[in-house]
Amino acid sequence: MLKYIIKRIAQAVPLLFLITLICFSLMHIAPYDVVDSMTNSKMTNQEREAIREEYGLNDPMHIQYIRWLKNICRGEFGNSLLSHTSIKYDLKIRIPATAKLVLPSYLTAYILAIILGLVAANNRNKWQDKLIDGFCSIGLAVPTFWIGMIMIYFLGYKFKIFPLLGMHTIGKEDSLTDYLRHFFMPYIVLIIAFLPDLTRYVRASAISQLKEDYVLVQKAFGAGKSEILFKHVAKNVLLPLVTKLGMALPLLVTGAVITETVFSWPGIGLYFVKAVEAMDYPIVMAVLVLSGSLVIIGNLLSDILYCIVDPRIKLGKN
């Protein structure tokens, strides 16, 4: 196990460098220059050149990349071009805010998906299966921002049950009740977003398991449907599903970009969207690198979890 982890980490290092190179190159060839976000039409060319010189933008591309990469390796993402605040400091505040929203939503969807997927598979082509599949189809087809706006209009504006936007009411930052009232609508929207894909994954896996010989053996011994489904089939269904937990790691950073923007939730998603709109390239690059790095780490965690859950798998031998 340790040898395999070391090997995977060694393989991940070049990928991380490639991610940083791609992110930096995309920002460098973007149609708008970094200086465009800091200047206005009244500035002279000399003033614009002074800004470029101050930020080292006149240096060759490879020099800028190496300088930026050194700072990234030290955990320094630089400062915002507009607010001049530390990006590292902003991320420390906004990542926990996103995690507080995404983590409960994903875990709730994860648990519901196991139940709904098993029920759908056990009642294949019956009304229960068609009802669950219909819900999944609607969840995949309808965009989350539309669901969010509908909830804001009816539950927030028309019936005034929940607050419209934000994470806290001003002056009630320490109130748990106020936080939960703000939390409810984006929480439900994210569950609807995560649930269909997970449910279909569980259903497909459960259907394949119900065709296995051990199910016939259990039926021959007189085991009931519920016992077979939740005691035997569920264990084998959870094996591939557990890898989804590792793959979900990037969601803690960029899993709710649209939902956070709709509900003005002060997390990474809203931070990233505003940075893109303002052409604040240091923030955009920092979030892209962080998200890409979490994808690689998530893949590694998925493999490790798979090995832990199923001891029959010996990593590194095949």
What confidence tens digit (pLDDT) does each residue in 164-188 have? 999 999 889 889 999 999 999 999 9
Whether pLDDT at 56 is above 60: yes
**Nearest alpha carbon to residue 183 among 268, 273, 99:** 99
Highest mean pLDDT among 30-39, 48-57, 279-288: 279-288
Give phi and psi for 301, each to the nearest 5: -65, -35
CB 94 within 8 A of CB 257: no
CB 136 within 8 A of CB 196: yes
Identify how many contiguous H helices and E strands the chain contains and give both numbers: 15, 0
Amino acid 312: pLDDT: 63
Handedness of CA 258, 264, 267, 270 (dihedral sign): positive
d(CA 261, CA 147): 13
- The pLDDT, as a whole number, for residue 318 is 46
48 neighbors 95 (Cβ within 8 angstroms)? no
Whole-number pLDDT of residue 311:
64
Structural tokens at position 225: 């449907």
Asked whether the whole model's pTM tops 0.75, one would answer yes
Per-range mean pLDDT, top range of 35-49, 145-159, 208-222, 247-261: 145-159
